[in-house]
Amino acid sequence: MLSPVLCSDLAALEPEYTEADVISTVEFNQSGEFLATGDRGGRVVIFQREPQGEYNVYSTFQSHEPEFDYLKSLEIEEKINKIRWLPLHNPAHFLLATNDKTIKLWKVSERDKRAEGYNLRDEEGRLKDLSTVTTLQVPVLRPMDLLVEASPRRVFANGHAYHINSISVNSDCETYLSADDLRINLWHLNITDRSFNIVDLKPENMEDLSEVITVAEFHPHHCHLLAFSSSTGTTRLCDMRARALCDQHAKLFEEAVDPSRRSFFSEIVSSVSDVKFSHSGRYLLTRDYLTVKVWDLNMENKPVETYQVHDYLRTKLCSLYESDCIFDKFECAWNGTDSVIMTGAYNNYFRMFDRASLRDVTLEASREVCKRRAVLQPRRVCVGKKRKETDVSVDSLDFRKKILHTAWHPKENIIAIAASNNLYIFQDRLTPNGHHNTPEIQSAPPKWQTQPNPPTY
């Protein structure tokens, strides 16, 4: 059942925040025990789920710094575009974080022992009187307070001429892909000085450029399959078995546009802003400006399901174009059992669609409504006259407040929503810890609850 719950308020008590604090990506790890966020300031914050179910800050580190490319006279922002966790290796956790140009592999590990005993110095570091040193002492490891360390393990640089929009770890656990506007590269996790270009859309002449890659993702189980979407609204599936270069796709998922509905904005709004394979590997979820679509990998010519996210904006495209909002890149997410879909919208709203019952709900993630343990109330946007007091008219939507980044716990009904500098974590109130329940959207108010204690940042 769907009922979100507030989790963490990164800006804590300060309503004022800087651009650097704006969250730019959110990602659960494979077990859901950890949640990572990246922000525009190049920081990565990792939350760990406590036994009681709350997420608290586990580690914070600066992943990327602003840089300057002197050859191209280009500033490189430190903003974290994507974070991807590696499958569990050993007690340490590994994640890839990328900005526009450079991908870094981070190790987050715990240390609870410390070496003690010097020969020539005492524990405060003062030199001992050498005449007192008569025997050799081997240091001994003693327990200490738990220390979480984040250390950069690899830096994968210089692989991209354009801005990196996606990274995705392969199910073979040894390779990953990175995609920029025109190319997709394949890297080995242990090799930083070379990568293989597997897709290249760059035309001989840049004036012939007709589309750019918007997202790329590996299939969750089949190491040879990858999907990438483009600004023209298509999503392509590539089979890396067929050839070393995947410029020729195996499948092309595209829905014919009704010519009568074609307008100046048709192509812009059809640009795919996110692609996610379902956990089962059978379906693809794509998000464009106005809809989310579910595609069956076995059917290329039309989606099996289409959900309107905010169809009421169809008449507002002109002003959205002028304010550049039409280029916002909303992400989308599956729940753990692939039965519910979530994606963001404006006015701090986000939407959930239950695939079986076809019910949907609009919820709001904002400081005002997300009091501790509060149950979220559904919202309704109306085009004409307000029917209820709580209804919001389209004209009063705040387009500066947008929810672009969302993530769903891989197994449980816990979701993470990034709204500018705030991270909200909601969980299904009726889900006891560690138990699964099948989520469905109820017509009654969904009971997503905010996490009881907002983590301190």
Residue 150 tokens read as: 């984040």
Q: 6 is written with which tokens?
A: 């507030």
Of 297 and 404, nearer to other proteins (C-beta) is: 297
x/- letters, 200..239, toward other proteins (CB under 8 A): ---------------------xxxx---------------
Q: CB 178 → other proteins: shortest distance, Å?
A: 19
- Calpha distance 168→215 (Å, rounded): 10
Tokens of 235: 């999503």
Q: Which is nearer to other proteins, 115 or 209 (CB)?
A: 115
Binding other proteins by CB under 8 A: which of 14, 18, 68, 113? 113
**Ramachandran sector of residue 32 (left: φ over 0; alpha: ψ -120 to 50; beta: rest):** left
Stretch that binds other proteins, among 88-96, 200-208, 381-389, 434-442 (CB under 8 A): 88-96
Give me the 238-267 binding string for other proteins, x by CB under 8 A, dash otherwise: --xxxxx-----------------------
Assess 356 for contact with other proteins (CB under 8 A): no
Question: Which range binds other proteins by CB under 8 A, 52-60, 134-142, 157-165, 266-274?
Answer: 134-142
The residues, ordered by sequence, that sit 6+ positions from 430 with a Cβ below 8 Å of its Cβ are: 1, 3, 437, 447
**Residue ranges in 204-281 assigned as alpha helix (H):** 266-270
Is 190 an interacting residue with respect to other proteins (CB under 8 A)?
yes
Asked if 194 interacts with other proteins (CB under 8 A), we say: no
Distance CA 249, CA 245 (A): 10
**77-85, 170-178, 255-263, 326-334 -> range binding other proteins (CB under 8 A):** 170-178
Residues 6+ apart with CB under 8 A from 46: 34, 35, 36, 57, 58, 59, 60, 93, 108, 150
Which amino acid type is present at position 16?
E
Q: Tell me the closest approach of the beta carbon of residue 337 to other proteins, in angstroms.
A: 21
Site size with other proteins, rule: CB under 8 A: 42
- Specify the DSSP element, H or E, that contains 318: helix 317-322
Nearer to other proteins, 224 or 372 (CB): 224
> By the 8 A CB rule, do 55 and 65 touch?
no
Q: CB of 199: closest distance to other proteins in angstroms?
A: 16
Beta-carbon contacts of residue 418 (< 8 Å; ≥ 6 apart): 23, 24, 25, 26, 37, 403, 404, 405, 406, 424
Among 18, 20, 89, 436, binds other proteins (CB under 8 A): 89
401 is a contact residue toward other proteins (CB under 8 A): no
Q: Which residue has the tokens 């289409």?
A: 306
The residue ranges that bind other proteins (CB under 8 A) are 87-92, 94, 107, 109, 111, 113, 115, 118-121, 130-131, 133-141, 153, 171-174, 190, 221-224, 240-244
